Amino acid sequence: MKIPKYPALALLQAGLTIVTLHTPVALAADGKLIATAGLSQIEGSGGGGIVPWATISGYDSRDQISAGAVVTQVDVDDYRLTMLGASLSFYDSLEVSVAQQRFEIKGAGIDIKQNIVGLKYRLYGDVVYSDWPQLSVGMQYKHLEDGDIAAAVGADNNSSGTDFYLAATKVHLGAIAGYNAVWNLTARATKANEMGILGFGGIKNDDYEIMFEASAGILFSRNIAVGIEYRQKPDNLGLGEDNWTDYFISYIPSKDFNLTLAWAELGTIAGAAGQSGLYLSLNGQLW
């Protein structure tokens, strides 16, 4: 798989072509209840902040297409991660996303770039309306552009890897003292070390492992969501890679725009312990 130099542009172009071929499609996607489309997670897929959800990013309904863009920065003690992403969603059923992660080792002048292409397909349900949770399968193909550090820390593969996941998400209207609640559970098969930034597989383990990820939140109004996320991670390199937790608050003033602020506790990364800090994410729906 070859990644174009400007994956976001290529994706938008492809999307526009599809849209122009499909004339009767409504372009301003607004076919979901506000705040039920979710956000874009740190690898570009529709989700929470660090966990991919079963939701298809964007407010498209069965007759609509939507496109969105996201920028996220996580700033912890010794590292800073910046993510730029874009996604296209088709008929609330298929999501295609591209993202670039830039991982900066503070004070060392080292920048590690990773490109990610994500695909997600909804298998069943509607997060709000079906009796059972919405279910989706997805994959994230990750291409590490700067693999030197990964090689240095003993990654088995320092160029690319693919994660596969199954996610279930449900919104319960009025469930908690009248407030809407949302939860998500994801099982991910992965070899990635620190999402792939430190390569794939390592001295300790070189096989796919199943990791569990979860999110839970309450919507205190139509525009404010508060919650917590958890993401289990493998320790293939034997560097004490930790599971991740974050506590988030999202402000969703309209279907076109939302802002998330979180406190991220990322534990030990590449041997440096106690990495925590602010997570800030801006999401926009282009149509």
Q: Minimum distance between the CB of residue 219 and other proteins, rounded to whole angstroms?
A: 9
Window 138 to 157, contacts with other proteins (CB under 8 A): none
Cα 53 to chain centroid, rounded:
8
Residue 180 is a binding residue for other proteins (CB under 8 A): yes
Question: Which lies closer to other proteins via its Cβ, residue 31 or residue 52?
Answer: 31
From 13, 17, 221, 254, residue interacting with other proteins (rule: CB under 8 A): 221
User: What is the spatial distance between Cα 49 and Cα 11, in angstroms, rounded to a whole number?
Assistant: 22
Instruction: DSSP letter for 197, please.
Output: T
Tokens of 23: 């004339």
Q: Considering the rule CB under 8 A, would residue 17 count as an interface residue with other proteins?
A: no
Range list of β-strands (E), the chain: 39-40, 46-47, 65-76, 79-90, 94-105, 110-124, 134-144, 160-176, 179-190, 209-219, 224-231, 244-254, 257-269, 272-285
Report d(CA 15, CA 102) in Å as an integer.
25
CB closer to other proteins out of 106 and 172: 172
Using CB under 8 A, pick the residue from 228, 249, 282, 286 that binds other proteins: 228
32 lies in the binding site for other proteins (CB under 8 A): yes
Q: With respect to other proteins, which residue has the nearer C-beta, 11 or 171?
A: 171
Q: Which of 92, 95, 241, 242 binds other proteins (CB under 8 A)?
A: 92
SS3 272: strand
Contact 163, 140 (CB under 8 A): yes
Q: Is the dihedral of CA 88, 132, 129, 23 positive or negative?
A: positive
Q: Should residue 184 be labelled a site residue for other proteins when binding is judged by CB under 8 A? A: no
Alpha-carbon span 219 to 50, nearest angstrom:
18
Among 20, 21, 109, 177, binds other proteins (CB under 8 A): 177
Residue 125 interacting with other proteins (CB under 8 A): no
Size of the site for other proteins (CB under 8 A): 31
For the bound state, the minimum distance from the C-beta of residue 18 to other proteins, rounded and expressed in Å, comes to 18
Could you list the residues that contact other proteins (CB under 8 A)? Answer: 26, 29-34, 61-64, 92, 128-129, 172-181, 214, 216, 221-222, 228, 230, 245
